[in-house]
Chains A and B, each alone.
Chain A
Amino acid sequence: MDQLYREAIIDHYKHPRHYGCLEAPDYKAHDLNPFCGDELTIELRVDEEGIIRGVAFDGKGCAISLASASMLMEEILHESLDEVKTWTRDDILDMLGIEIGPVRMKCALLSLKVLKKGIYGLDQLEEEELD
């Protein structure tokens, strides 16, 4: 448990960074985890050079899914959109720094799923991309 719920996870869960919403976001996406009902919205503001200048997320979920979203917001702020598009599931797992079993994988990856949905404007991200 100390591993799965390491301090940083609990900290991000209890004190989420960039929680809320942006005024006039350039990108916005919402999705949910159909198995548990967790839901997440992510908003981005991006400047003319394609650099992410504003981030926010909102939602309900477990510690893993919300910590994942909170950490992801910190990671992508001031990064370029092109860079963020290359993020994969392994980047999320490195960021979380914990081992995630198959059942909780959907919790951990909800943030990336919503982010990519926002950037690409896709209704449903291809499953393979997250597997």
Chain B
Amino acid sequence: MATSRNLNGRAAVAADETLDWAAVRSQFPIMERKVQGGIPLVYLDNAASSQKPAAVLEAMSRYYRTSHANVHRGVHTLSEEATVLYEEARQNAGRLINAPSSRECVYVRNTTEGINLVAGSWGRANLGPGDMVVTTTMEHHSNIVPWQILQAERGFDLRYVPVTPEGHLDRGVFGSLMAEEPKLVCFTHVSNVLGTINPVAELTAEAHAAGALVLVDGAQGVPHLPVDVQALGVDFYAYSGHKMCGPTGIGLLWARRELLHAMPPWMGGGEMIREVTLEGSRWNELPYKFEAGTPAIAEAVGLGAAAAYLMDLGMDNVASHGAYLTNYAYNQLVEIEGVHILGPGPEDRMGLVSFHVDEVHPHDLAAILDLDGVAIRAGHHCAQPLHRSLDLIASARASFYLYNTESEIDRLAAGIERARRIF
């Protein structure tokens, strides 16, 4: 069905018939899993990590069974095959976010490592006393702590954009911080707690007008939304494989080529050098300058397979299904007495609903739901400043993906009602 969507991927749907979603679900072997002595698993912890389709599992297994060797080294058959698979995967992972070239796509372990790479390389070379970095209280710790660590070393000013009571970034404060001409502005594409979809293109234009570079945490954006780094106009964009059907231990950092050229290496070792002498070394070409040591080859192959899988489904379809499930869950949960949902209404959010329930600690709620076979996350979701700003120490979070169904969300709602009765 047709959906209307702006550049930031907001989708509004009444019902979802974009694809045969039952057939999509059947491509994920773990959906057969029974827990708690025979109850079908309801997996609603996708914002923490998604499950994997057979296509990804088979690509990784096939690689190990038939083609494994080290990459970019030997001239023998297996090394060549492994190198081709590793580089094809990079192209797919870059194409998923419309990167202009796979040379600008650096394999990292995850979004966290991508942000740390920017902090440790670009940041260490470019930030010092008198400079300013802006991030937000909406961020995952991975987009706060690397900047705090670097700040302690380099002595720049680190400022935070607060979140409004409605769960959006405070645009007024954002604007006034831009007037102070920061060097770098960092924010998440989609909040891992509130589900808020940030207006990346608008914020980026505003930051660029102030002369700042922009780094976006794409961990929760890439799994659900069509991402086009060129249209968004950002300078750095990082995402993790394991939240978008790929394996753990692999992710991607995309950055504009001139930035990558100017950035010093982050880690030293094999693979990242052009020439080593005892007097010094010269660096390898992009992106290998940033990939020291033998990489996670099978994981990269899995990441490429996941990107190809999502592109085959069509990210517009994935986004409309995600919006549909999010909307459905929001409307179910908002009806339950004693349930308080964090963040914006369903039209401005993607992929998840975080909430707290009167009289029931999130940990207890998660434990009770687990006994019903329903997996959700309880805790601060690596966003303590955000929880503190909401005067909470923890919340419960249900997060959705391709394979989830309305009836699974109904089981979530029934479990919450049950927990309310126990307490």
- Chain A interface residues toward B at CB < 8 A: 1, 4-5, 10, 14, 35-39, 60-65, 104, 107
Q: Which residue of the partner chain, among A4, A39, A60, A61, contacts B367 with CB atoms under 8 Å?
A: A4
Q: Could you tell me the distance in whole angstroms from the C-beta of B36 to the nearest C-beta in chain A? A: 10
Contacts of A5 in B (CB 8 A): 364, 367-368, 422
**CB–CB A10/B422 < 8 A:** yes
**CB–CB A10/B371 < 8 A:** no
Known: A36-B363, A36-B394, A39-B393. Is A1-B368 also a contact (CB below 8 A)?
yes
Q: Is B411 an interface residue (CB 8 A)?
A: no
A16–B214 Cα distance when bound, in Å, is: 49
5 A-B Cβ contacts within 8 A?
Answer: A10-B422, A14-B423, A37-B379, A39-B393, A64-B367
Q: Which residue of the partner chain, among B371, B393, B422, B423, contacts A38 with CB atoms under 8 Å?
A: B393
**CB–CB A63/B379 < 8 A:** no
Known: A4-B371, A61-B361. Is A37-B422 also a contact (CB below 8 A)?
no
Q: Which residue of the partner chain, among A1, A37, A63, A64, contacts B394 with CB atoms under 8 Å?
A: A37
Q: Which residue of the partner chain, among B367, B368, B371, B380, contacts A37 with CB atoms under 8 Å?
A: B380
Q: Is B378 an interface residue (CB 8 A)?
A: yes
Q: Is B384 an interface residue (CB 8 A)?
A: yes
Contacts of A35 in B (CB 8 A): 379
Known: A37-B379, A37-B387. Is A64-B363 also a contact (CB below 8 A)?
yes
Across the A-B interface, the 4 shortest Cβ-Cβ residue pairs: A62-B363, A62-B361, A37-B393, A36-B379
Q: Could you tell me the distance in whole angstroms from the C-beta of A123 to the nearest C-beta in chain B? A: 21
Q: Could you tell me the distance in whole angstroms from the C-beta of B73 to the nearest C-beta in chain A? A: 40
A39–B422 Cα distance when bound, in Å, is: 23
Interface size class for chain B? Answer: 10 to 19
Encoded as 1 (CB less than 8 Å from any A CB) or 0, chain B from 361 to 392 comes to: 11110011001000000111000100100000
Which secondary structure characterizes the binding site on chain B?
A: helix
Q: Could you tell me the distance in whole angstroms from the C-beta of A104 to the nearest C-beta in chain B? A: 7
A10–B360 Cα distance when bound, in Å, is: 11
Q: Could you tell me the distance in whole angstroms from the C-beta of A11 to the nearest C-beta in chain B? A: 11
Q: Could you tell me the distance in whole angstroms from the C-beta of A4 to the nearest C-beta in chain B? A: 6
Q: Could you tell me the distance in whole angstroms from the C-beta of A70 to the nearest C-beta in chain B? A: 14
Known: A4-B371, A37-B393, A39-B393. Is A64-B387 also a contact (CB below 8 A)?
no
**CB–CB B393/A60 < 8 A:** yes
A62–B379 Cα distance when bound, in Å, is: 10
A10–B423 Cα distance when bound, in Å, is: 7
**CB–CB A1/B422 < 8 A:** yes
Q: Which residue of the partner chain, among A37, A39, A60, A64, contacts B364 with CB atoms under 8 Å?
A: A64
Q: Which residue of chain A is the closest to B379 with respect to CB atoms?
A: A36
Q: Could you tell me the distance in whole angstroms from the C-beta of B389 to the nearest C-beta in chain A? A: 14
A36–B365 Cα distance when bound, in Å, is: 13
A38–B423 Cα distance when bound, in Å, is: 19
Known: A1-B371, A5-B422. Is A63-B364 also a contact (CB below 8 A)?
yes
Instruction: Name 19 extra pairs, CB < 8 A, besides A5-B367, A64-B363.
Output: A1-B368, A1-B371, A5-B368, A5-B422, A10-B422, A10-B423, A36-B362, A36-B379, A36-B394, A37-B384, A37-B394, A60-B393, A61-B363, A62-B361, A62-B362, A62-B363, A63-B361, A65-B363, A104-B363
Encoded as 1 (CB less than 8 Å from any A CB) or 0, chain B from 392 to 423 comes to: 01100000000000000000000000000011
Contacts of A63 in B (CB 8 A): 361, 363-364, 423
Contacts of B380 in A (CB 8 A): 36-37
Contacts of A39 in B (CB 8 A): 393
A61–B360 Cα distance when bound, in Å, is: 10
A62–B419 Cα distance when bound, in Å, is: 13
Contacts of A14 in B (CB 8 A): 423
Q: Could you tell me the distance in whole angstroms from the C-beta of A38 to the nearest C-beta in chain B? A: 7
A95–B32 Cα distance when bound, in Å, is: 38
**CB–CB B364/A62 < 8 A:** yes
Q: Which residue of chain A is the closest to B387 with respect to CB atoms?
A: A37
**CB–CB A107/B422 < 8 A:** no
Q: Which of B367, B368, B378, B394 has the most CB of A within 10 A?
A: B367
**CB–CB B423/A107 < 8 A:** no
Contacts of B379 in A (CB 8 A): 35-37
A60–B363 Cα distance when bound, in Å, is: 12
